[in-house]
Chains A and B, each alone.
Chain A
Amino acid sequence: MTTVLASASGHYVAAAYVVFVALILLYLVIIAVRAQRTERELRELSALAEKRPR
């Protein structure tokens, strides 16, 4: 790792791996936002179900 970062072209290698990690993290953030939206909708539906006459 130290050899990679210390070399003249090391920043290119670091950039490639950072791009990979950033892409996956971005994807996970989008998934998390959608999961939050789903959770909110589920809460709304639970409230709706409680209001319904049995």
Chain B
Amino acid sequence: MTRTRPHSRGLPLLSSATAATVVAALSLAFFYAPLDRDQGVIQKIFYIHVPLAIVSLCGFIAGGVMAIRHLRTGDRSWDMRSYVAIHLSIVFAVGTLVTGSIWAKASWGHWWVWSEPVLVSFLIVFLLYCCYQPLRFSIEDPERQARYASVFAVTAGAFVPVNFLAVRLATQHVHPRVLSQSGSLPGPMLLTFLVSLAGVALLWATLWKLELSLKSSRMSLKRLRARLEAPDEVEAPVPEVAVR
């Protein structure tokens, strides 16, 4: 039986750091950051919406990088890491879309603006990654499943920064460009934003480790079951593939 790496190592410490940072971010957002002159209290959505968007996009890219490692080394654990990263980033992307829609309704009077490249491009990335799971689980052979999923993750992961740059070059934009204008955020707002970004990034890392640890345990159980149910026969190896 192959030894699984302890994915849960450092999880309690990471969870504590996440809880502390998220609490600090919320406290800063509601009690420290000043009200925006133009948008007023609605701007507080920024401290959750933008970090969610950044972390989900970085998560998609991270999933692609992990998939490259899987394709290069053939180590299935990298495929599982990539799968969990993409899966979690989809959840964060849902959060981005919903909080963004709420902000759009409060700020522009519409839940969605189809002429805005930033919104539409994010939706395209989200829909692209929504195809990942159906594609993955439509393939039964574990070897092919992992390989095809990795190729998808690498291709889609490369599309994310390209898409981001294409949108930056677009002329029409209603959506605020916070990070492009260095120094545009006042100090307290910037501090709150950075703490929020750290909090959401740590939350992503904690949930990623948690799910990975659970999936790893389920794989170990599967192997154990295979050994116990067929003790006299030659042990059939259970491949390390993503389990739903």
> In the complex the two chains form, is B45's CB within 8 Å of A16's CB?
yes
Pick the contact of A48: B95, B203, B210, B229 (CB < 8 A): B229
Taking a contact as CB atoms under 8 Å apart, the answer to whether B105 and A12 are in contact is: yes
Residue of B102, B224, B231 near A16 (CB, 8 A) is B102
Q: How far is the CA of A20 from the CA of B211 in the complex (A)?
A: 19
B70 within 8 A of partner (CB): no
Number of A-B residue pairs with CB-CB distance less than 8 Å in the complex they form: 76
Kindly state whether residue B168 has any CB partner on chain A within 8 Å: no
- B residues 193-231 near A (Cβ < 8 Å) are 203, 207, 210-211, 214, 217-218, 221, 224-225, 228-229, 231
Q: How far is the CA of A18 from the CA of B144 in the complex (A)?
A: 40
Q: Which A residues touch B44, using CB under 8 A?
A: 4, 13
* Cα-based distance from A38 to B207 in the complex (angstroms): 17
Interface size class on chain A is 20 to 34
Of A19, A41, A45, the most chain B CB neighbours within 10 A belong to A19
Is the pair B106, A45 in contact by a Cβ cutoff of 8 Å? no
Which positions 15-37 of chain A face chain B at CB distance < 8 Å? 15-17, 19-20, 23-24, 27, 31, 34-35
Contact between A20 and B48 (Cβ–Cβ < 8 Å)? yes
Closest to A10 in B: B41
Task: Give CA–CA (A19, B105) in the complex, Å.
Answer: 15
A13–B221 CB distance below 8 A: no
Q: Which residues of A contact B221 (CB under 8 A)?
A: 38, 41-42, 45
Contact B102 A15 (CB under 8 A): yes
Query: From A37, which residue of chain B is reached at the shortest CB distance?
Result: B218
B81 CB-CB contact with A under 8 Å: no
17 contacts between A and B (CB under 8 A): A1-B31, A4-B30, A7-B40, A12-B103, A13-B44, A13-B106, A15-B102, A16-B49, A16-B102, A16-B103, A17-B26, A27-B91, A31-B211, A35-B214, A45-B225, A48-B228, A52-B231
Known A1-B30, A41-B225, A48-B225; 13 more pairs at CB < 8 Å: A3-B41, A12-B102, A12-B103, A12-B105, A16-B49, A16-B103, A20-B95, A20-B99, A31-B207, A34-B218, A41-B221, A45-B224, A45-B228
Residues of A within 8 A of B (CB): 1, 3-4, 7, 9-10, 12-13, 15-17, 19-20, 23-24, 27, 31, 34-35, 38, 41-42, 45, 48-49, 52
